[in-house]
Amino acid sequence: MRSEHAISDKVLAVLRRAPLDNVVLLKFLLASPQAASVHQIVRGDDAATLLLLDHRFSDFDRETYPAASASALIASTNPELTQDLLAFVPRRETLVFKLANEADRSVVAAEFPLERRTAFLSYTATIMPALDTGADIETTTAKTPFEILAAQGHSAEWLGPLIASGRAFICVLRAGSRPLSACFAFQIDGPVWEVGGVYTQPAERGKGLAYRIVHTALAELQRRGHVARYQVSEENTASIRLAESLGMKRYLTLTHYLSAPDMP
């Protein structure tokens, strides 16, 4: 099954069988359908999906991997299906493979040279006890501290409409009217929401403020019956410690590999 630009309901239905495991593909497909082409193979209870993401539509990938034209993201429950998907991967381009397990890496490495670059860790939380953190939950843009959130690369143009449509909310700690620390949560697909944009003013760091705002966001998602996802890069030890201190469980590691035709 192939889908380009228009997202097939069948493709989404298969990915939604395991929404947390397939969260990265769902996030890209739903946010930027014009940026991706999708190939999916389903055999019985097994499924494999390949998303080819054009880097012209991804600021992060274009800046991080300037030599690469696209990313190849694979979510698969069977390495034999992963093997079959490789027929749809361009052979003469520099790519970034984003793979979630060793079985897929072994299959891809048999046909493409791979150079490991980094990995992103996904965490989730199932039980978050209520705690008076002093943080406010804001569901309108009236007082949103966009200047803090912009420090992490999240623009008002992107986040504002999500808040206005009820698909995002802000958690913020203030001293009077001055924001000290903030984060936000936004909907990826259905019940799956992501917590991101965690930022504390430099002079306020080391006081546990990030713990308080993220705890507030997770507790609010739990209250609403949503499923939380929190993503960090493997180099971000502070955010990893934060996730672990909150009792979050790591459930997915997405490793990035650069692949170029002239690599040995």
At 3 the pLDDT is 47
Backbone angles phi, psi at 78, to 5 degrees: -150, 120
Question: Comparing C-alpha atoms, which of 1, 9, 108, 95 is closest to residue 52?
Answer: 95
Measure the CA dihedral 201/202/203/206, to 10°. 100
What residues are paired with 187 via a beta bridge?
Answer: 193
At 6 the pLDDT is 54
What residues are paired with 47 via a beta bridge?
Answer: 42
DSSP E strands in the chain: the ranges are 2-4, 36-43, 46-54, 70-76, 95-99, 115-124, 136-138, 168-175, 178-189, 192-200, 227-233, 249-259
Q: Class of 136-247 per CATH?
A: alpha beta
pTM of the model: 0.92
Q: Are 2-121+253-259 and 136-247 equal in CATH topology?
A: yes
At 129 the pLDDT is 82
DSSP code of 254? E
Domain range summary for the chain, segments of one domain joined by +: 2-121+253-259, 136-247
Distance separating alpha carbons of residues 201 and 209, to the nearest angstrom: 10
Distance separating alpha carbons of residues 3 and 37, to the nearest angstrom: 6
Given a contact cutoff of 8 angstroms between Cβ atoms, the answer to whether 112 and 89 are in contact is yes
CA-based torsion, 27, 258, 106, 4: positive or negative? positive
| CATH number for the domain formed by residue range(s) 2-121+253-259 | 3.40.630
Q: What are the average pLDDT values for consecutive 10-residue runs of the chain, which has 264 residues?
A: 63 96 95 91 97 94 97 98 98 98 98 98 90 92 92 92 97 96 97 97 96 96 96 97 97 98 90
* Beta-carbon contacts of residue 98 (< 8 Å; ≥ 6 apart): 24, 71, 72, 73, 74, 254, 255, 256, 257
